[in-house]
Structure 1
């Protein structure tokens, strides 16, 4: 694996494609870096999200674990109080933030921070950040080595009985509560740190709204960029180990692992390994370049993603396999769909990120497993904007403005299909995800229209489909 050298290199003719931002482009960036208008329904909307989403997470977990996956509800007006009493009992007894959950969840946080600080990695330069005077930040991309050290450590601890992997899924509710406490604490804490250090930006002036959207753009502890660390090291590592824990639970109780649970182990490994092996692509994304680090992102990485994306694992770990057994052709179709969608998703993301790196003069790309064919567009076509940026119109990006979103959603759908019609709850991920993607695209396209003006119209003519080619 490469060491700490940078990927930046001149082209063979000695010239570079260093990013050039016109004066007009800089003025537009300044406009975009100012607070615009309320999103998500403003202060009351984000407050409803901050309260309602944790409640929904608890409710769906209780339905899966204790009510056979059925959406339990009061059967009459007289049943409302007993129903709420049952819910409260489950929270107090089965989702209390117990010592096991504090040790495991907090231990993972500090272990991942330690690995991010000390493990060797690949130094990648990010895009010029307008709010920092177009300064570029360096990122030590060591998620891949950290991931496999984590996997090896967990395997050794489980083998010698020091830490039982199956215990993770058994303590799902307790861990979820601790994750929520961490999510809220970090969200408010990082807000107050930004205010105290004067690093806040694009503020609305409303406390709750600004905590939700975030105050700072690139908070760091030493060499660790917290926003990128949380996106890769927290959310998807927990997702993967919840699936592994479910498999271990099945092996302990059944003596084997079902194809459905193996599917979830493969699917979650695809995701975490892709994020880790392509970590150097993350600094090129809007998440790092523009999105502030607030509750919307923090809580989602600490609690939302890990504990609302793998409901199929929760169901399978607590139910007999006969409830979700498929025929062999169905399993083949399911696995084939996942692998095909993953291939397009992985290569589409790589094509976009490599193209952005090329505009900075980077022509040698990191080689990590698995390197998929088609991950770089040779002789890419693009729209040159007056702003200075280039908009890719080649590779997968000739077919759709968001091809990665389309196949990402298809993968999320398979995470529900893996249990068939046994319960609707695991389909929450795909339903919620498509809502988020549509909203995110609206924000992104609106921002691009302001940023690129007529050049955005040219781009939309070249790539007319927002999502699905020839359909939408």
Structure 2
């Protein structure tokens, strides 16, 4: 028996040396299961009525929370009587009409970002990463040009130069938040509907329900591309997290101009958003291994969220701090130490757990190579990983962080989101929207994922759940 690997029956633990040959092969049983999973079997998100409610309700919620933050001291406002409902709605509409109109300036700023990010993605050199075999493409693998890191830091250098020479002051981003948000929403709707019609016209749609609105929401295309640019991966990294980071930088610049200093709270948000943006760039080769790339279609659910939802709901703490006196949310020194320590610890677990799983998939496929991008953290790769070999042909990792929890990355990711609200303390409840909304999304996504895995792996999934008992937090849940 080889010292580097142990061959035992399906559904039991295996140990494999990282240098051994790839052994991933989809079995006939696996192909039948994949074909079933690649069909529309049932409605999600409440079906057509549920997605219609989300497509109309969420943009209105975004406007409402921004208005509360910017114009009502960060407090939740509402009509106090039946007679006040109409005047209240008129006030809300007045803020949207006057302070969030999609004016020409906002169109220039947002469109400029989109065009520049597409241009950089087209010309920048990158690391070519092979994705996972896609069942709907006959198990063909797609190549991804991972050049986000070059694009991100070129964007940073460009923004710094524009700010320094007073061509485009970074404070203008936060000052025009409402206007730019409206343009982002229009882009979200336009790209979603446009991509649906384009895909259907080309006959490339898949897993369709037959209900127009539901199919626009879930998407019709799986891997839309412009040349070498995979639009789904491009939009996941280059738009939301770039905007999130520059909103934090804009808030810091505005604070510096007003008070001559940047508070530890605002500096925290610059660091936190840089963590996320840089992680997306430095580990971009891991993204093709994720469910988002492999299975999720590019529809309104993903498109609107990337173009408008993420950048304009995740950093409410920045919006609050940019418009309020620092004395409202100051912490003690021990408080700041605890806040920064929690963020860094959660980031470390999130970064390394994501890296472990993605690199394990690349090891299994035989296309893993070390990509030296900053920062490469200890324990980012599991050596001699243990796993469960499934009858489907896939392997389920049971080493590293994935030995203790089925979703360690979700726990760490949510903890980071909570600190993004905690940074303003009790000054306003609205910055906590991110963490409240996010945990709802993660629980729902986990349910979808586990249901799919139960169908895909059958008894092997039961065995996996016996080995990795805890869904989220070890010994808790």
**Superposition TM-score, scaled by structure 1 size:** 0.97
Question: Which residue of structure 2 lines up, in the alignment, with residue 409 of structure 1?
Answer: 414
Cα distance, 1:40 vs structure 2: 0.6
Q: 1:148 to 1:13 in 2, by over 3 A?
A: closer
Q: Give the alignment of 1:5-404 within 5 angstroms.
A: 16-404=21-409
Cα distance, 1:14 vs structure 2: 8.8
Cα distance, 1:18 vs structure 2: 4.7
Distance in structure 2 (CA, Å) of the matches to 1:361 and 1:423: 50
Distance in structure 2 (CA, Å) of the matches to 1:91 and 1:300: 20
Question: Cα deviation per residue 1:231-271 (whole Å; 9 max; x = unaligned)?
Answer: 00001000000000000000111111000000000000000
Distance in structure 2 (CA, Å) of the matches to 1:261 and 1:18: 48
Distance in structure 2 (CA, Å) of the matches to 1:134 and 1:467: 31
Distance in structure 2 (CA, Å) of the matches to 1:15 and 1:72: 61
Q: Check the 8 A contact 2:130/2:367 in 1, yes or no.
A: no
Distance in structure 1 (CA, Å) of the matches to 2:47 and 2:68: 31
Q: Check the 8 A contact 1:354/1:365 in 2, yes or no.
A: no
Cα distance, 1:362 vs structure 2: 2.5
Distance in structure 2 (CA, Å) of the matches to 1:338 and 1:236: 17
Q: What secondary structure does 2:239 align onto?
A: helix
Q: What secondary structure does 2:388 align onto?
A: strand
Distance in structure 2 (CA, Å) of the matches to 1:248 and 1:14: 49
Q: Check the 8 A contact 2:133/2:139 in 1, yes or no.
A: yes
Distance in structure 2 (CA, Å) of the matches to 1:18 and 1:234: 36
Structure 1, unaligned runs of 5 or more = 1-10
Cα distance, 1:16 vs structure 2: 2.2
Structure 2, unaligned runs of 5 or more = 1-15
Cα distance, 1:81 vs structure 2: 1.2
Q: Check the 8 A contact 1:180/1:302 in 2, yes or no.
A: yes
Please point out which of 454, 461, 464 is paired with 1:459.
464
Q: Check the 8 A contact 2:18/2:363 in 1, yes or no.
A: no
Distance in structure 1 (CA, Å) of the matches to 2:419 and 2:294: 30
Cα distance, 1:363 vs structure 2: 3.9
Q: 1:193 to 1:13 in 2, by over 3 A?
A: closer
Q: Check the 8 A contact 1:243/1:310 in 2, yes or no.
A: yes
Q: Check the 8 A contact 1:211/1:295 in 2, yes or no.
A: yes
Instruction: Give the CA RMSD over aligned residues.
Output: 1.1
Distance in structure 1 (CA, Å) of the matches to 2:368 and 2:270: 34
Equivalent residue pairs, number: 462
